[in-house]
Structure 1
Amino acid sequence: MKKRKLVSVILAVAVVAGTMVGCGSKDESSNSATPKKELDKSPITLTFFTADTTDDMPFTDDVAKEITKRTGVTLKITHPVGGDTQAIPLMIASGEYPDLIYAKGDTGKLIDAGALLKLNDYIDKQGDDLKKLYGDQLKRLKYSEKDPSIYTVGTYGVSSAPWDTSGTLQLQNGVLKELNYPQVKTLDDFEKALKDYKAKHPDKIGLSLMGSDWRWLITVGNTAGYVAGYPDDGQWIVDESTQTAKYKFTDPKLKDFFKWLNKLNDEKLLDPESFTQKYDQYIAKLSAGKVIGIADSTWDYGTATTSLVGAGKEDQTFAKLPVTLDANTKCPALKDYGFGGGWGIGVSANSKNKDRAFQFLNWMASDEAQVLINWGIQDKHYKMENGKRVVLPEVQKQKNTDKDFGKKTGVGQYVYPFPERGDGAKDSTGNYYTTNSPETYTANYNKAEKETLAAYKVKMWPDLFPTPKDLGGVSKHGQAYQYNIPSDSDLTVIQKKCDDYTQKAITQAILGKPADFDKAWDEIQSTLKSYNVDKANEEMSALVKEKMKLWN
């Protein structure tokens, strides 16, 4: 739900056949660490592959230059091209790797191929900053009960604070205002708001989804789980009391949400382009203020919000709402998952720059680096005022109105997927490591947001939602979508097949006739059974049990 948690997609890839070559043994990789010495600042270029961006990152912004000045390191950053999911398998097949690799859900493939360095010895001898950052959460970086080695660090904050949320569904603030701020807590409430507003403004688009690419999992699949009251475990529903998991598209509560979308489509309240539009078209609609409601995460549509604020169209920005199936379902938006530990950046086992690569990751965990990557450069991006770090007003204005702020300045650009303290953590001066705080959130709400919150008699968006305590406290299993799945498991292949099928079949059911929906859903369940989804449930349940034992 928060940006740091909201990338909840397992991008499973096809299994690459053939011989794996030239990877180096993972058993010998942890013995070369030398005792910690003074930071080597000699110039060096480290290659870094990140699976989670499609944008070029030239490492020439102000923060990048400062990182190079302080460490000697320049990053040459590469990424998949055009949504390619074969980058990691192709690396494994060739045996050629960058110095640093962020593989997301494909991390297990690299480990099984012996492509990643074991970091335990490095952390023990040279990793003071990493040990300080992770503290007692270091154990969550262990790969598995069978192999308790640490191969990666980073990805998401060690701490979190319930200061922001995307909610489950969103309506324009101006829509709520015109309707005299009705309570919008259930799907029926949301539907009524759509109907009432569209009746007055027939030229507007009702609910628009981004369902033509992988964002189907964000705006359709994930939303279905949230509306049903399930926390974010990707494609899974986890029951901690029984330590079991099941593929979420077999759950009848999710059927209710998809059936609701089917009804909206039949009543012309669903954008007819929801499953065909490209992302830039979707963002253009939102930026133009044409769409009444969405079902998205702020990190996905944030550029539209920034554009609207920059154009003085605050009323057309979106309110974050705790919409669920019914009044008895708790919205899980503020669930505290704890530190997941599953994904992170690894060092290539055959890198010629192992020591410098690890030294760089350790430095990125230092207080010095955490302040730099979050706040930028003192007196250029922030100032010290009565012992407190304060973002310069002109920088904050740029941050609120320029969608390319991060790319231009580098501020916040290198937080994810590197090691990060997270929201709520404070340094030795009593300042937060991140620029986020309750005060900064409330101060930077736009005019329309402030009016909406005041109308609902709350100060912040999270005030509308059940608290982390209401939702059962900290997750004991983390989040299932971050698990590194062994490459010899049937789980990856079965889930990939199920994911590809459900995206197409559920979309067809939503766009079909309401009289045919139940039959379509029954056929989906029958097909998932034939794909051996029960076997996948068993294997994911075993991973949940293992994770809970390893951590607790």
Structure 2
Amino acid sequence: MKKKLSFLTLSLLFTITVIMAGCTDKSSKDSSENSGESSSTEPLTLTFYSADGEEKTFDDPVAKKITEATGVTLELDYPVGGNDETIPLMIASGDYPDMIYAKGDIGKLIQAGGVIKLDDLIEEKGENLKAMYGDQLDRLRTSLDDPSIYTVGTYGVQNAYWATSGTFQVQLDVLKELGYPEIKTLEDFEDAITKYKEKYPEVDGQKTLGLSLLGSDWRWLITVGNPAGFAAGIPDDGQWAINDETGEATYKFLKPEIKEYFKWLNGMNDKGLLDPESFTHTYDTYIAKLSSGRVLGIADQDWDIADADKALVSEGKEWKTYAPLPVTLGPEYKSPGLKDYGFAGGWGIAISSTSEHPERAFEFLDWMASEEAQILVNWGIEGENYDIVDGKRVVQEDDRQRKLTDPDYGKETGVGYYIYPFPQWGNGAVDSNGQSISPDTEQDIIANFNVAEKEVLKEYGMENWIEAFPASEELGVSKHGSASNYSVPPGSDLQIIQQKADDLVTQRITQAVLSKPADFDKLWNSMLKELEEMNIEKANEEMTKLTKDKMELWGTN
């Protein structure tokens, strides 16, 4: 078992490594210096670390097909216990896996010379990647100062918006019991939860919970911070509110409409409508509550609650699953649930500077962008997961049912498991025969709604939930992508100030939400003063520059 370094030791090692990297830029090595190897399908094991990975072996049916086609078996590594020190520890030790998905820490690896530039490899050997990215290739480039490409993958290039995620959601049974009311504002949302909770104070012998959040870990960002912005009509730019025309960025918790949201949440808590454990319970407890059917409202990403949704369906509790709603502070705001951010660029999979097989690693990533690979990772294996009917791929019925009810389906079969964070065409792409590269077309999404969803949608005169939301075309395509995917320069004023600010608002907003309503304004104003004292305006200026530079790099300014 690896020993953890002390923070002081880690800091010293990291500093020394970065200094050394400045003297010897490993990332500047071209492919001829890295390896003389050529394309091959000889058996080879490559190590792959994913910041979003989990314990798993690369031996499911889809993985075996990938190995059969490429010769590559992946040895998968992941952050144990949510350890966010993994990348700094790699840099400090100089011990890197062959491929790395570092998410927002990619800038640290680039600075330390821990990953190689991929430009020459893409030009010489990246036919599939070039075809996949097309005119979006520039979005992979790091910055104006260093317009090199270090990563590929993570997000789809051609995206369609047939479903929302991250919005407010309410139980289907609430809508049915209340006669299918229109719910568009926080006031509507609160009213519906209040009425249902008064009518049914208990569910299966347990206390009914109004709105439950998960603010005890990193999910504070997606269940507490993000919904505040969505309610104010602010698209998902992480902790920022950005003017898409000018690139001007503001730390979003400075905005008065964000305060208005949290003041509402404070009122929900005071009225007993907010789960009192929203900032203390664990993820497992949160999912268990949702799976019990006693939580009326949530504000979370669909992928975060997927296990609870499948558990409810498998237990015949379809009416306890949730309907996504375009809830905002008021009618003057537009819910950004269907916002088109374009191809995000930014994060992706890098090849380490210490890999003994950089070309094979690159060839593997390029193959993952091929049509053959995209069909395999999205659909699985013909005859086992899907059949060809009248010339078209059709998911087998037992697979379709298992996909809807079994949380381990992807992990055990490999179907859908290797889409993210690898290169992916996107759910809006079609193959050479004009068929959708993804089995999750709008028609499939509609067909897979459970019985209760279909009944509720019919009552509202809709086929799909997205019909209740402002359309993607109405919201427009983002010129700057999404700031949540930017790689902020490590050690910069922006990185240091934002980290301090994020830590502060997580604590202070939690305290303000749980306070007496009479104390809310005082606590909020005190937080704003602390943000001012840590020079949050400097962070605003730096993020504005980063955004404008990104738009210039992409040619969207």
Question: What per-residue deviation string (whole Å, max 9, x for no partner) do you get for residues 479-500 of structure 1?
Answer: 1111111224111111111111
SS of the residue 1:341 aligns to: coil
SS of the residue 2:241 aligns to: strand
CA distance in 2, matches of 1:518, 1:30: 57
SS of the residue 1:294 aligns to: strand
Alignment-derived partner of residue 496 in structure 1: 499
CA distance in 1, matches of 2:312, 2:304: 15
Once the two structures are TM-superposed, the CA of residue 28 in structure 1 deviates from its matched residue by 3.3
CA distance in 2, matches of 1:372, 1:40: 20
Once the two structures are TM-superposed, the CA of residue 26 in structure 1 deviates from its matched residue by 3.9
Once the two structures are TM-superposed, the CA of residue 417 in structure 1 deviates from its matched residue by 0.4
How many pairs align?
A: 537
Alignment-derived partner of residue 477 in structure 1: 480
Once the two structures are TM-superposed, the CA of residue 242 in structure 1 deviates from its matched residue by 2.3
Alignment-derived partner of residue 505 in structure 1: 508
Matched, 1:92 2:91: yes
Alignment-derived partner of residue 42 in structure 1: 42
Query: What does 1:241-390 correspond to in 2, within 5 Å?
Result: 241-390=245-394
Alignment-derived partner of residue 29 in structure 1: 29
Alignment-derived partner of residue 16 in structure 2: 19
Q: Which of 269-278 and 163-172 deviates more?
A: 163-172
Alignment-derived partner of residue 444 in structure 2: 440
How well do the aligned residues superpose, as a CA RMSD in angstroms? 1.6
CA distance in 1, matches of 2:36, 2:320: 54
Alignment-derived partner of residue 191 in structure 1: 190
Corresponding letter in the other structure for 1:48: F
Alignment-derived partner of residue 154 in structure 1: 153
Contact 2:497-2:536 at 8 Å conserved across structures: yes
Once the two structures are TM-superposed, the CA of residue 27 in structure 1 deviates from its matched residue by 5.2
Alignment-derived partner of residue 222 in structure 1: 226
Alignment-derived partner of residue 535 in structure 1: 538
Once the two structures are TM-superposed, the CA of residue 65 in structure 1 deviates from its matched residue by 1.0
Corresponding letter in the other structure for 1:524: M
Alignment-derived partner of residue 235 in structure 1: 239
Alignment-derived partner of residue 170 in structure 1: 169
Once the two structures are TM-superposed, the CA of residue 39 in structure 1 deviates from its matched residue by 4.3
Question: What per-residue deviation string (whole Å, max 9, x for no partner) do you get for residues 56-76 of structure 1?
Answer: 021111111111111111111
Contact 2:119-2:148 at 8 Å conserved across structures: yes
Contact 2:166-2:302 at 8 Å conserved across structures: no
SS of the residue 2:73 aligns to: strand
Question: What per-residue deviation string (whole Å, max 9, x for no partner) do you get for residues 198-242 of structure 1?
Answer: 010112111000111000100000010001100000011111222
Question: What per-residue deviation string (whole Å, max 9, x for no partner) do you get for residues 342-393 of structure 1?
Answer: 0000000121011110010000000010000110011100111111111111
SS of the residue 2:65 aligns to: helix
Contact 1:163-1:462 at 8 Å conserved across structures: yes
Once the two structures are TM-superposed, the CA of residue 455 in structure 1 deviates from its matched residue by 1.2
Question: What per-residue deviation string (whole Å, max 9, x for no partner) do you get for residues 33-83 of structure 1?
Answer: 899998411111100011113x20211111111111111111111111111
Corresponding letter in the other structure for 2:76: I
Contiguous gaps of at least 5 residues in structure 2: 1-9, 203-207
Corresponding letter in the other structure for 2:169: Q
Alignment-derived partner of residue 430 in structure 1: 434
Contact 1:34-1:122 at 8 Å conserved across structures: no
Query: What does 1:32-181 correspond to in 2, within 5 Å?
Result: 32=32, 39-53=39-53, 55-166=54-165, 168-181=167-180
**Aligned counterpart for 1:521 among listed residues 510, 520, 524:** 524
Matched, 1:550 2:553: yes
SS of the residue 1:98 aligns to: coil
CA distance in 2, matches of 1:539, 1:166: 29
Contact 1:36-1:125 at 8 Å conserved across structures: no
Corresponding letter in the other structure for 1:451: E
Relative to structure 1, is the Cα distance of residues 418 and 186 closer, same or farther in structure 2, using a 3 angstrom cutoff?
A: same
Question: What per-residue deviation string (whole Å, max 9, x for no partner) do you get for residues 383-422 of structure 1?
Answer: 1111111111111011011111111111000100000001
Once the two structures are TM-superposed, the CA of residue 279 in structure 1 deviates from its matched residue by 0.3
Corresponding letter in the other structure for 2:508: A
SS of the residue 1:18 aligns to: helix
CA distance in 2, matches of 1:286, 1:34: 50
Instruction: Give me the identity figure in percent.
Output: 55
CA distance in 2, matches of 1:516, 1:395: 53
SS of the residue 2:305 aligns to: helix
Once the two structures are TM-superposed, the CA of residue 146 in structure 1 deviates from its matched residue by 1.2
Corresponding letter in the other structure for 1:533: I
SS of the residue 1:20 aligns to: helix
SS of the residue 1:469 aligns to: helix
Q: TM-score, normalised by structure 2?
A: 0.94
CA distance in 1, matches of 2:295, 2:307: 15
Corresponding letter in the other structure for 2:131: K
Corresponding letter in the other structure for 1:52: D
Contiguous gaps of at least 5 residues in structure 1: 1-13
CA distance in 2, matches of 1:406, 1:232: 27
Contact 1:167-1:321 at 8 Å conserved across structures: no
CA distance in 2, matches of 1:226, 1:434: 27
SS of the residue 1:82 aligns to: helix
Once the two structures are TM-superposed, the CA of residue 25 in structure 1 deviates from its matched residue by 2.4
CA distance in 2, matches of 1:37, 1:99: 15
Relative to structure 1, is the Cα distance of residues 412 and 84 closer, same or farther in structure 2, using a 3 angstrom cutoff?
A: same
Contact 1:344-1:418 at 8 Å conserved across structures: yes
Alignment-derived partner of residue 457 in structure 1: 461
SS of the residue 2:342 aligns to: coil
Contact 2:58-2:73 at 8 Å conserved across structures: yes
Contact 1:370-1:420 at 8 Å conserved across structures: yes
SS of the residue 2:42 aligns to: coil
Q: TM-score, normalised by structure 1?
A: 0.95
CA distance in 1, matches of 2:129, 2:28: 22
